[in-house]
Amino acid sequence: MGVKEAKIIEHSAGAIPNEHPQIAASVLGIRKHFGKTSVLEDITFDVAEGETLVLLGASGSGKTTILRIIAGLEHPEAGRIILHGRDVTELPARERGVGVIFQAYALFPKMNVEKNISYGLRLRRRPRKEIREAVNRLLSLVQLEEHRKKYPSQLSGGQQQRVAIARTLAYKPKVLLFDEPFGALDTQTRVHLRREIRALLKKVRVPAIFITHDQEEALELGDRVAVINVGHIEQIGTPQEVYNRPETEYVATFLGAANLLPGVIRRAGVEFGTALVPAPIDWSRFREGQTVKLVFRPEDVSLSKSAIAPGGPCQLSKGIVEEVSFVGAYERLAVRLDPAGSNHADSSETPFYLTTETPESQTTKPVVVTRAKPESIAAPLTPGDHVVVSLNSFTILPDVGK
């Protein structure tokens, strides 16, 4: 638990002093069961003013339950929800100042865009001038001025979602919660809309929490990403941190393809077969002779037909190209390593395989490498080519199975 969170917990009752105004929302030690099944265990994180935090996880990981607890739609068995310094754990949803945007837009079909956005304000009997100004401001914000008289059936899915967001912002919520808001949209619209929403959130400076199972969406939307796995936060950090420096095998493999190479800790690095990969060892985490896994992304691999590692990266092994696939902006290669360091791989030998799947899947594949178009054109490779495999970056993780 971080220092900021620990300081917040010291105030166990009543309003929380505003020692850290940059923190807009704190989730502290949340626990939840459904029957005998544990859904959440000790979920703790905070969200700063103007920050977008993405809760990323597979179906059934517990991320939706977290969102519902923050919104007041579920009650935790333990833990607290602090919104802008106020403990709202026991408050009903309507008193929390939270706006929720669901995947289903829930627009009123017989009301046009203007009336959908102003509905909550009219319900609260706000002055007409205030309502008109708020609607005009929100229409401009979500770029729907020319569609103000249209009905939901006349709008695209992306436009309907923007109306739903504008309607929620009309309440002036203190925190925005997005429950997989792009799930019903086609891929192209999702990509376009999430960029619009990210820009919109930076304008309104309202703290937001998204939930999604889409890794690319999480990395693009979030200022920080919390990776959820069966009711636990595996890692929380910036998109760059969770992608480039995963702290667990699950994080490494859930956020895109990752090659996992079994090895053994030695004083000078990690031993793989008869090869030694030089690396600084954190002796507070590892011990001599400990089995570990070397984790590296496909784009972190360099291939060369020369015996000299290109560009100075760490030489890993020799190998043979088994497959080359064209994937538009880059090419994907499957390379079988020769951990013995032989210059020639005998096809009768048992291939050395690395996983590129999530921990739940034990499907194995050769090392996956991606190369950008300029590199693939400058140094073309074909199946059967012998190469030197080098790493530009990698992470060492404990082998939890050992």
To the nearest 10 degrees (0 to 180), the angle between helices 128-141 and 113-123 is 140
50-92 confidence digits (pLDDT tens): 999 999 999 999 999 999 999 999 999 999 999 999 999 999 9
Residue that finishes a domain, picked among 207, 237, 253: 253
Q: Is the pLDDT of residue 363 over 70?
A: no
Are 273 and 225 contained in the same domain? Answer: no
Q: Is the pLDDT of residue 36 over 80?
A: yes
Residue that finishes a domain, picked among 223, 253, 283: 253
Are 309 and 239 contained in the same domain? Answer: no
Domain limits for position 291: 257-398
**pLDDT for the residue numbered 102:** 83
- The number of beta carbons lying within 10 Å of the beta carbon of residue 194 is 22
Are 146 and 14 contained in the same domain? Answer: yes
Q: Is the pLDDT of residue 10 over 90?
A: no
Mean pLDDT, all residues of the chain: 85
253-276 confidence digits (pLDDT tens): 999 889 999 999 998 899 987 778
- Yes or no: say if 249 and 81 are a contact pair by the CB < 8 Å rule: no
Are 193 and 275 contained in the same domain? Answer: no
Q: What is the 3 state secondary structure string of 214-270?
A: CHHHHHHHCCEEEEEECCEEEEEECHHHHHHCCCCHHHHHHCCCCEEEEEEEECCEE
Most confident of 128-132, 157-161, 311-315, 362-366: 128-132
Are 309 and 390 contained in the same domain? Answer: yes
73 or 125, greater pLDDT = 73
**pLDDT for the residue numbered 396:** 94
**pLDDT for the residue numbered 108:** 92
Residue 307: pLDDT band with limits 50, 70, 90 = low
**pLDDT for the residue numbered 185:** 77
Which pair of tokens denotes residue 299?
């784009």
Q: Which of 19-28, 200-209, 236-245 has the lowest mean pLDDT?
A: 19-28
Q: What is the 3 state secondary structure string of the chain?
A: CCHHHHHHHCCCCCCCCCCCCCEEEEEEEEEEEECCEEEEEEEEEEEECCCEEEEEECCCCCHHHHHHHHHCCCCCCEEEEEECCEECCCCCHHHCCEEEECCCCCCCCCCCHHHHHHHHHHHCCCCHHHHHHHHHHHHHHCCCHHHCCCCHHHCCHHHHHHHHHHHHHCCCCCEEEEECCCCCCCHHHHHHHHHHHHHHHHHHCCCEEEEECCHHHHHHHCCEEEEEECCEEEEEECHHHHHHCCCCHHHHHHCCCCEEEEEEEECCEEEECCEEEECCCCCCCCCCCCEEEEEECHHHEEEECCCCCCCCCEEEEEEEEEEEEEECCEEEEEEEEECCCCCCCCCCCCCECEECCCCCCCCEECEEEEEEHHHHHHCCCCCCCEEEEEECCCEEEECCCC
Residue that finishes a domain, picked among 253, 277, 310: 253
Closest CA to 213 of 47, 31, 358: 358
Are 190 and 278 contained in the same domain? Answer: no
Are 164 and 135 contained in the same domain? Answer: yes
- How many structural domains compose the chain? 2
Residue 366: pLDDT band with limits 50, 70, 90 = confident
Amino acid letter, 62:
G
DSSP lists the bridge partners of residue 57 as: 228
CA–CA dist 24, 12 (Å, integer): 18
203-239 confidence digits (pLDDT tens): 888 999 999 999 999 999 999 999 999 999 999 999 9
Residue 342: pLDDT band with limits 50, 70, 90 = very low
- Yes or no: say if 370 and 330 are a contact pair by the CB < 8 Å rule: yes
- The structure's pTM equals 0.81
Are 141 and 237 contained in the same domain? Answer: yes
Q: Is the pLDDT of residue 361 over 50?
A: no
**CATH, residue 136:** 3.40.50.300
**pLDDT for the residue numbered 347:** 38
Q: Which of 182-186, 281-285, 360-364 has the lowest mean pLDDT?
A: 360-364
Give the Å distances, CA to CA, from 223 to 55, 85, 201, 204, 324.
11, 21, 11, 15, 35
Which pair of tokens denotes residue 94?
């309507």
- The number of beta carbons lying within 10 Å of the beta carbon of residue 325 is 11
CA–CA dist 120, 143 (Å, integer): 20
Are 73 and 197 contained in the same domain? Answer: yes
- Yes or no: say if 35 and 225 are a contact pair by the CB < 8 Å rule: no
Are 375 and 274 contained in the same domain? Answer: yes
224 or 305, greater pLDDT = 224
**CATH, residue 390:** 2.40.50.100
Are 323 and 388 contained in the same domain? Answer: yes
- The proportion of the chain whose per-residue pLDDT surpasses 90, expressed as a percent, equals 59
pLDDT, average across residues 161-182: 89
Are 190 and 123 contained in the same domain? Answer: yes
- Yes or no: say if 363 and 354 are a contact pair by the CB < 8 Å rule: no
